[in-house]
Amino acid sequence: MRLPFARFGVGLALAGARCFAVTVLTVLLFWEPVPLAHAHDGHDPELARGTSASAGLPRLVAGSEIYELVAILDGPRLTIYLDRFRDNAPVTDANITVMINEEAAVAAPTSDGTYVVVSSQFGGRGLIELVFDVKEPEADDLLIGKLFLGNVPPANGANSSTPWYAQTASYLRHGTEDHLMLLSLTLLMGLALGIALRRSRAHALPILVVAASVLAIMPLARAHEGHSPEDNPRRFVLSGDTAQRLPDGKVFVPKPTQRILDVRTAVTKSETLPKSVTLIGRVITNPNRSGVVQSINGGRVIPPEHGLPRLGQAVAKGEVLASVEPPLPMADRTTISERVGELEQMIAVAEAKLKRLRPMAERQVVPQSLVIETEAELAGLYRRREVVRETRIAPEVLRAPTDGVVATARVVAGQVVQAQDVLFQIVDPDSLWIEAYDYGDDDPASLEAATAVVGGSSAMKLDFQGWSRALQQQATVLQFAIVDPPSMVRVGQPVTVSAQRGGTTTGIIVERGAVVRGTNGEAIVWRHVEPEYFEPRPVRTEPFDATHLLLTAGIADHERIVIHGAELINQIR
Map residue 488 onto helix, strand or coil.
coil
CA separation for the pair 422, 410 (Å, rounded): 8
When mean pLDDT is compared over 126-130, 248-252, 352-356, 366-370, the highest value belongs to 248-252
- Type of residue at 458: S
Residue 167 confidence (pLDDT): 43
Query: In this model, does residue 282 exceed pLDDT 50?
Result: yes
Comparing 200-204, 255-259, 350-354, 449-453, the range with the smallest average pLDDT is 200-204
Determine the Cα–Cα distance for residues 266 and 56; give it in Å rounded to an integer. Answer: 30
**Mean pLDDT: which of 33-47, 269-283, 423-437 is highest?**
423-437
More confident residue, 79 or 194: 79
Task: Give the CA diameter of the chain.
Answer: 179
Return the higher-pLDDT residue of 563 and 337: 563
pLDDT reported for residue 189: 64
Query: What is the predicted pLDDT for the residue at 467?
Result: 87
Mean pLDDT score of the chain: 76
- Contact assessment for residue 229 and residue 223, using Cβ atoms and an 8 Å cutoff: yes
Pairwise CA distance, residues 464 & 478, whole Å: 8
Tens of pLDDT, residues 385-437: 888 777 666 788 889 988 989 988 888 888 888 888 889 999 988 889 988 88
pLDDT at residue number 170: 45
Is residue 271 left, alpha or beta, with left meaning phi > 0 and alpha meaning psi from -120 to 50?
Answer: beta
User: Between residues 559 and 447, which one has the greater pLDDT?
Assistant: 559
Lowest mean pLDDT among 31-40, 136-145, 557-566: 31-40
Give the pLDDT score at 73. Answer: 87
pLDDT band at 81 (very low <50, low <70, confident <90, very high): very high
pLDDT at 535: 92
pLDDT of residue 205: 53
Specify the pLDDT at position 211: 55
Dump pLDDT digits (tens) for 463-472.
888 888 888 8
Burial class (CB in 10 A: 0-12, 13-18, 19+), 364: exposed
Distance, CA of 49 to CA of 309 (rounded, Å): 67
Q: How far apart are the first and last CA of the chain?
A: 68
Res 32 pLDDT > 50: no
Is residue 572 a contact partner of residue 243, using CB atoms and an 8 Å limit?
Answer: yes
- How high is the pLDDT of residue 153? 45
Whether pLDDT at 531 is above 50: yes
Query: Does 538 have pLDDT greater than 60?
Result: yes
Average pLDDT over residues 149-163: 46
- Give the CA-trace dihedral at 407, 410, 414, 418, to 10 degrees: -120
Is pLDDT at 25 greater than 90 in this prediction?
no
pLDDT for residue 271: 81
pLDDT over 90 at 492, yes or no: no
Query: Is the pLDDT at 40 greater than 60, yes or no?
Result: no
| CB 91 within 8 Å of CB 141 | no
In the prediction, which pLDDT does 52 show?
A: 38
> What is the H or E stretch that residue 422 is in?
strand 422-427
SS3 letters across 482-524: ECCCCCCCCCCCEEEEEEEEEEEEEEEEEEHHHCEECCCCCEE
What pLDDT does 252 receive?
Answer: 92
Q: Is the pLDDT at 534 greater than 90, yes or no?
A: yes
> Residue 152 pLDDT > 70, yes or no?
no
**What are 164-188's pLDDT values in tens digits?**
334 444 444 444 445 555 556 666 6
The pTM of this model reads: 0.56
Bridge partners of residue 563, in order along the sequence = none
pLDDT score of 224: 42
Rounded percentage of the chain residues whose pLDDT exceeds 90: 7
pLDDT reported for residue 415: 87
pLDDT per residue over 99-110, tens digit each?
888 788 888 898
Give the span between the Cα atoms of 100 and 283, in whole angstroms.
63
Picking from 469, 459, 468, the residue whose alpha carbon sits closest to that of residue 543 is 459
User: What's residue 190's pLDDT?
Assistant: 63
- Of residues 526 and 389, more confidently modeled: 526
Whether residue 221 is predicted with pLDDT greater than 70 in this model: the reply is no
